[in-house]
Structure 1
Amino acid sequence: MGNIIKGIIAFIPSKTCQNYLLGELEEMPVDKMVDLSSKHLRRFPLRVCAFTELVKLYLSDNNLNTLPPELELLQSLQILALDFNNFKVLPQVVCTLKQLSILYLGNNRLRDLPPELCFLKNLQTLWIESNYFTHLPVVVCELTLLKTLHAGSNPIRQLPNELKNLKELRSIWMSGTLLTEFPLVLLEMPFLDVIDVDRNGIRFFPSLVHMQSLKLVIYDHNPCQNAPKVAKGVRRVGRWSEESPEPKKRSEAEAELENAKDNKEVCDFCVPLQPVSSNFLSRQ
C-alpha cells in the first residue's frame, strides 16, 4: 500500500507532493547533495533546481524518462545518477552540465548517446551498462578525460578504433557483451590498468605482455582455449590463471609423452649394478 501511495504522489508533482518527497528541505544541504533514489518518481521535482550550488544529485531507481530544461541551472553538479530508470533517450539538458565528472546511466533503455555528450569535457567516469547499445557510441571516444568506462551487459560486438584516443582511460569493463574476439584496439592502449571481458564469447586471447600498466585482466566465462599472457605481477581472473595452470599445447604434450616412453625404454635395457660387499672391500 505504501508503494502505491508513493507512486501516486510522485506522479502528481504538486507543492504538497514535493514537500513529501523533499521533506523540510528549503535551503541548500550542507553536504550539497540531494538523494531522491527509490522515490517512485515519474517527474523531476523542479524545486531541486533552486539549489544552484548542488554538487551531487542521485535519482536512481525511479520511473523517470525525461528531465526538465531547468536542470541546466545546476552548473556546479559533479555527480549525476540516472541509473535504473526508463530513459530511452538521454535528455539534452544533461549535456549542458559541464562540470559533471561522474555520470551513471546504467539499467535504462538507451540505444545511443547524443553527439552533445562531447560537451562534458570534465567527465571521468561513465556507466552505461545494461542498456540496449549494439555498439559503443563514438561520442564516448571524444571524452578525453575519461578514466573509467562501464559498458557491460549490452549487445556490443566490437569496439571502435577511436577508443585508443582516450589516453586517460585506465579501466574498461565489458562483461556480458557479445564480443567473440578480443578487441584489438585494446592492444593499442598500453596505459590501461584494468580490462574486464568476463562473460563473452572470446575463444583466443592475444599476448598482453607489452601492456606495462596493466594490473588486472578478467576473462572468466569465455570459451577460450588459452589464457592471456601478461607481464609479471599482473593478476588474471579466469581459467588457467595463477591458481590453475594453463593446459599445455597438444604438440608439447605429445613431445613429453614421447620423452617419457624413450626414458622407459632406456630403463628397461639398463642392468642394475650389484652392490659391492663390504667383505670384499675388507679383503682388498
Structure 2
Amino acid sequence: MATDDTQSLQSLGITPYFSSSSRDLRLDLNYRNIQRLPYDLFKLEDLQWLNLNVNKLHELPLEFGALRKLRWLYLENNLFDRFPDVLCELTALVRLYLSTNSLKMIPRDICRLTELRWLDLSDNSFWEFPLGLCDSALSKLERLIMDNNKLTCLPAQVSILKGLKTFHLSDNQLEWLPQTICDMVKLEELQLTNNPLKTLPAYFGERLKRLRILVCKGCPFIQPLKNSVDKGMTSLREYQGVINRRCEHSGLVYFKKQNDGSGEKPCYRMRTRPRGVAVIIDNLSDLGSKDRDEDGRTSTPSGHSSSDILRSVLLKLGFNVRMMRGLMSLDIISALRFISLEDHSYFDCLMVCVLSYGGQGKVIGPDGVSVDVKQLMEIFSRENCPSLADKPKMFFLQVLDKHPSSSPRSPGASGSPAVTPRNLNKGGKRSSQMSEDPTAALIPDDDDFLLTVAMVPPAAVCESLRDVYTLYVNVLFGMMEKYARKLNILDVVNAVHSEVRTIRIATVDGKGTSIKPIIQSSLKYNLYLSVPTTLVTPTSSLGMASP
C-alpha cells in the first residue's frame, strides 16, 4: 500500500503554491522521509509540478494516475527497483527525473508519454539500454541522462530517438557504439566520460554535424584517434575523413541497406572465398581425457571432437581453418608470426580463437609461461602485417583463470582454488595478474581489431573440455553460425555475452558464479560474415565513392 490514509498534506505542514513565473500549481514533498503518500495528494487534479526527491518511496499507488495535468515530476533518491507503471498514464509529462534509484527495466508503455522532453535515469542499475525508449512516439525527447549505470552497449534502435539533442552516458561500461548513432543528426552534446571505448564509428564526425560538445575523458581511445578527439570536433572530422576516403578508394568498405529501414550503413567488404584465415589454438584439449567412465570409455566428446565443432562452423562461414593444439607459449607467438608473414591481400579478414589457461590479459601455455594478449594481437598490426591493414582482425579468447599445473577440483573439494607460486607475490597473496582492470587496453593502438575475452573464474569447477565449451565457445560459435551472415558481428557477440552472463557455474565453495565476458573493439565499420550479391552505391550527400 503506497498511500497513507492517516496522513494529509496539512499534517505534514505542506501547502501547494503557484509559481510566480508560470503560474502552474506546485507541491514540494522532498526530504520528508515519506514511505507512503498522503491521501489528499491525489485530489490536486490541477497539479503540474511535484517534487518527491529524497524520500523512501518504492512504489506509487494507482491513484497517482489522477494527476493527469502533471508536467514536471521529481522522483530522485528513492527506493524504486522497478519503473512505476502508473507513470505511463501521465501523458502530459514533459520532464521526468528518476535518478538514484535501482531501476533495471523500463516498460514499453513509456511510449505513451509523447510530450516527454527530459528524462533522467542516471545512477540506476540498467545493464541493457531500455528498448522501450526506442520508439518513434518519443520523438519530442531532447535530453536523456543515463550516467552511472552498467550499460555495455547501445542497441542499433537507439537511432529512433532522432529528436535527441543531449545524451549523457558517462560512467557506464560501454565497449562500443553502434553505427546507427550517426543517424541521431540533431545531437548537440554527447557525454561518454569513463567508458572503456576504444574507437568511434567511422562516420561519427561527418554525420553528426550539429555535435558541438563531445566529452570523452577517461576513454582509452586508440591513437591517433585520441589526439583528434582531444583537439575537438573539427580535428575528429578531418581525421576520420582521411581514413574513410582511403578505405572507400581501395574498396575495403561498402554500404549495406539495413533490414530495419535505418538506411545504408558502412560495412567491411566481404567478397572473397575463402574470406580469410581462421586459427584455432586449443590448449585445453587435454581436459577431454579426464572425462571418462570408470571402465575407461569416453563418456563425452573428446577434446579433438569438441574443437572440431569450431572448425566445422568456421568452414561454413567461409574460412580457411588452421587447427593447432597444445602449443607452448613461444610456439603460439611463432605460429601467429608465421601466419602474419603470409600474403593476405586476397583475403578480407582474419580470425584467431584461443582456448587456454591464463589470467587477466594473459595466455599461459602448457609450459607455464605467460604471453600478453596484446603482444599476440600486435603481430597483425598495420606495421607487422600490411596486407591486413584496414581489414577486420577478430580474436576470441576463452581462458581458464588458473595455472596449467593446477589439478582440477571437484564440487566436494574443500578449501580455496589451487594457487601456484607464479600467482603469488612476496606477501603470499594472489598477484595482480588475476585482478587487473578488465577494461585495461588489450588491443593494439590500431584500427580494425575485435577482441572478446571470457574468463572462467578460478573457483569454477571445470573438469572437462565439454564444461569449458558449454560456458562460452558453444554459445559463441552457435550464434555465429546462425546469425553472423545476417547481423553485425558486434550485435552477435553482445547477444552471446548477454546469454553467457546468465549461466551459473558451480564453484568449490558451493556459492556459484558466472562469466562476465568483455569486448574491446576498434572496428570502424559494421561486419557481416557474408558475401554480398550486390554492392550498394553510397549516397552522394556524404561525398563517398563507390567501392
TM-score normalized by structure 2? 0.39
Structure 1: how far apart are the matches of 2:72 and 2:96? 6
Q: What amino acid sits opposite 1:201 in the alignment?
A: P
Q: Which is further off, 140-149 or 207-216? A: 207-216
Mapped contact 1:212–1:231 kept (Cα < 8 A): no
Question: Aligned with 2:57: secondary structure?
Answer: coil
Quote the sequence identity (%): 25
Q: What amino acid sits opposite 1:49 in the alignment?
A: F
2:217 to 201, 220, 223: 220
Mapped contact 2:3–2:37 kept (Cα < 8 A): no
Matched with 1:56 is 49
Question: Aligned with 2:209: secondary structure?
Answer: coil
1:196 to 186, 191, 199: 191
**Would the alpha carbon gap of residues 188 and 17 (structure 1) be closer, same or farther in structure 2, given more than 3 Å must change?**
closer
Mapped contact 2:5–2:38 kept (Cα < 8 A): no
Q: Deviations over 1:60-94 (max 9, x none)?
A: 11100011111111111001111110011112111
Q: CA deviation at 1:220?
A: 0.5
Q: CA deviation at 1:111?
A: 0.7
Q: CA deviation at 1:17?
A: 6.0
2:10 to 19, 28, 33: 19
Q: CA deviation at 1:136?
A: 1.0
Q: CA deviation at 1:18?
A: 4.1
Mapped contact 2:154–2:177 kept (Cα < 8 A): no
Q: CA deviation at 1:135?
A: 0.9
Matched with 1:175 is 170
Any residues of structure 2 matched to 1:77-96 within 5 Å, and which?
A: 77-96=70-89
Q: What amino acid sits opposite 2:26 in the alignment?
A: M
Any residues of structure 2 matched to 1:25-104 within 5 Å, and which?
A: 25=15, 29-31=17-19, 32-104=25-97
Matched with 1:281 is none
Q: CA deviation at 1:13?
A: 3.6
Q: What amino acid sits opposite 1:29 in the alignment?
A: Y
**Would the alpha carbon gap of residues 16 and 135 (structure 1) be closer, same or farther in structure 2, given more than 3 Å must change?**
closer
Question: Aligned with 2:167: secondary structure?
Answer: strand
Q: CA deviation at 1:181?
A: 2.1
Structure 2: how far apart are the matches of 1:73 and 1:12? 13
Structure 1: how far apart are the matches of 2:195 and 2:186? 23
**Would the alpha carbon gap of residues 29 and 18 (structure 1) be closer, same or farther in structure 2, given more than 3 Å must change?**
closer
Mapped contact 1:201–1:222 kept (Cα < 8 A): yes
Mapped contact 2:205–2:236 kept (Cα < 8 A): no
Q: Deviations over 1:176-199 (max 9, x none)?
A: 010122443222222210111111
Matched with 2:207 is 210
Structure 1: how far apart are the matches of 2:161 and 2:218? 27
Structure 2: how far apart are the matches of 1:12 and 1:191? 42
Matched, 1:153 2:151: no
Structure with the bigger RCO (C-alpha within 8 Å, sep 6+) is: 2
Question: Aligned with 1:48: secondary structure?
Answer: helix
Q: CA deviation at 1:16?
A: 5.5
Matched with 1:133 is 126
Whose radius of gyration is greater, 1 or 2? 1
RMSD: 2.4
Mapped contact 2:170–2:193 kept (Cα < 8 A): yes
TM-score normalized by structure 1? 0.72
**Would the alpha carbon gap of residues 45 and 180 (structure 1) be closer, same or farther in structure 2, given more than 3 Å must change?**
same
Mapped contact 1:195–1:217 kept (Cα < 8 A): yes
Matched, 1:230 2:233: yes
Where does the alignment leave 5 or more consecutive residues of structure 1 unmatched? 1-10, 235-249, 252-284
**Would the alpha carbon gap of residues 157 and 16 (structure 1) be closer, same or farther in structure 2, given more than 3 Å must change?**
closer
Question: Aligned with 2:12: secondary structure?
Answer: helix
**Would the alpha carbon gap of residues 16 and 117 (structure 1) be closer, same or farther in structure 2, given more than 3 Å must change?**
closer
Q: CA deviation at 1:215?
A: 1.2
Q: CA deviation at 1:49?
A: 1.0
Q: CA deviation at 1:106?
A: 1.0
Structure 1: how far apart are the matches of 2:154 and 2:233? 21
Q: What amino acid sits opposite 2:18 in the alignment?
A: V
Q: Deviations over 1:96-121 (max 9, x none)?
A: 00000101111111110112111111
**Would the alpha carbon gap of residues 202 and 233 (structure 1) be closer, same or farther in structure 2, given more than 3 Å must change?**
closer
Q: Deviations over 1:217-252 (max 9, x none)?
A: 000111123243623799xxxxxxxxxxxxxxx99x
Q: CA deviation at 1:162?
A: 1.2
Mapped contact 1:46–1:70 kept (Cα < 8 A): no
Structure 2: how far apart are the matches of 1:58 and 1:16? 18
Mapped contact 2:123–2:147 kept (Cα < 8 A): yes
Where does the alignment leave 5 or more consecutive residues of structure 2 unmatched? 20-24, 238-381, 384-547
